[in-house]
Amino acid sequence: MSSKPRVLVTRHLPPKVEARLGRDYDARLNPEDRLYGTEELLKLAEGCDALLGCPTDKLNADTIQRLPASIKALATFSVGHEHIDLAACKARNIAVSNTPDVLTDATADIAMLLMLAAARRAHEGEKLVREKRWGSWAPTGMLGTHVTGKRLGIVGMGRIGQAVAKRARAFDMQILYSNRSRLKPELEQGAAYFADPDDMLPQCDFLSLHCPATPETVKFLNAARIARLPDGAIVVNTARGAVVDDAALIAALTSGKLAAAGLDVFDGEPKVNPGYLPLENAFLLPHVGSATHDTRDAMGMRCLDNLDAFFAGRAMPHRVA
Ligand code: DGY
């Protein structure tokens, strides 16, 4: 019998991460990358000491309560942890860790990609070329929204929000932000702070969402808040789909109240509200904020650093519960 801790790894992970898992753990891998339903996950977890999971695992209170008593730690391959009932983990004395920092740059890059793509009508232009419908260059063809010098409002000025601000400054954008607390001047770097996001919205040519999905932020961007944005504003979401009221956003994109939106995350993903699909002014990506080779390797290593610490009796460096 192996003396290494036994870990159920719910998804197929990058090769370097699985190699380290194989070296240091008795790892129950998922090479076919099947999505486990709750019952299958619970069965596979039998006899395991820890779980290395992903946002695709819905670890609600009921599932946590039903996990085998042998499970003592849970490392999520994500910075977001809204898919895990942390209170239930605490009640069961299961230590939970996440993967902050290492996905900041990759996610901020995708926010910029969405912003530029939405502003410059990348989806429409791409289609035009691929479908051989591109007639000729035209002085008035494919005109989009100018980015340089515009005002960017950031909701949630944590690590990723700050990384987006840094990139946007290179585009000479003015940075406005709303956050639970005001940043220190050295982090704020001249950005204008709004304690109440509703006061910021009328001044945002672009709005980028970076707040976690919590009961307070669900459907944050609703019809009333969209109405406060200037006409022709552009919205970007790399946070969580749940912070947007899809019906309101679709209505605003359809009416022209908003010029465009760039979305990497969706409420109920991988299902996407069908109202987005015909919209030429919606640039849509399948939750690839952290999807670079380097970032996904680093996320996996971070999960293992946390599990290593836990099983060595040390504090997990990124413990969230
Ligand atoms: C996270 O880590 O929460 C991301 O959304 C995955 O890219």
* Residue whose C-alpha is closest to residue 260's, from 205, 183, 318, 190: 205
* Residue whose C-alpha is closest to residue 164's, from 264, 258, 82, 253: 264
Ligand 1 atom 6 nearest Cα = 78
User: C-alpha angle 183/186/192, rounded to 5°?
Assistant: 55
The Cα–Cα gap between 179 and 194 comes to 7
Where does the pLDDT of residue 187 fall: very low under 50, low under 70, confident under 90, or very high at 90 and above?
very high
What CATH number should be reported for the domain whose range is 6-102+293-311?
Answer: 3.40.50.720
Instruction: Tell me whether domains 6-102+293-311 and 104-284 share a fold.
Output: yes
The Cα–Cα gap between 121 and 75 comes to 39
User: C-alpha angle 119/125/131, rounded to 5°?
Assistant: 160
213 lines ligand 1 (CB under 6 A): no
Atom of ligand 1 nearest to the CA of 290: 7
Angstrom CA distances, 195 to 93, 118, 198, 199, 249, stand at 36, 27, 9, 8, 24
Q: What is the pLDDT of residues 246-305, one digit of tens each?
A: 999 999 999 999 999 999 999 999 999 999 999 999 999 999 999 999 999 999 999 999
Q: What is the pLDDT of residues 204-250, one digit of tens each?
A: 999 999 999 999 999 999 999 999 999 999 999 999 999 999 999 99
Edge-to-edge strand ranges of the sheet holding 151-155 = 192-194, 174-178, 151-155, 206-209, 233-237, 258-263, 282-284
Interval between CA 136 and ligand 1 midpoint (Å): 41
Active site (catalytic) residues: 240, 269, 287
- The average pLDDT across 104-130 equals 98
pLDDT value of position 2? 60
Angstrom CA distances, 1 to 4, 5, 26, 134, 251, stand at 9, 11, 10, 65, 60
Question: Which secondary structure element, helix H or strand E, spans residue 247, and what is its range?
Answer: helix 246-255
pLDDT value of position 202? 99
Atom of ligand 1 nearest to the CA of 76: 2
Interval between CA 38 and ligand 1 midpoint (Å): 21
Atom of ligand 1 nearest to the CA of 289: 7
pLDDT value of position 111? 99
Task: List the domain boundaries for the chain.
Answer: 6-102+293-311, 104-284
298 lines ligand 1 (CB under 6 A): no
78 lines ligand 1 (CB under 6 A): yes
Look at the domain 104-284 and name its fold.
Answer: Rossmann fold (3.40.50)
Interval between CA 98 and ligand 1 midpoint (Å): 10
Atom of ligand 1 nearest to the CA of 107: 7
Residue at token pair 């690590």? 159
103 lines ligand 1 (CB under 6 A): yes
**Mean pLDDT of all residues belonging to the chain:** 98
Side-chain-side CA neighbours of 140 within 13 Å: the count stands at 0
The Cα–Cα gap between 16 and 126 comes to 35
Ligand 1 atom 3 nearest Cα = 80
Where does the pLDDT of residue 167 fall: very low under 50, low under 70, confident under 90, or very high at 90 and above?
very high
Residue at token pair 């293992």? 304
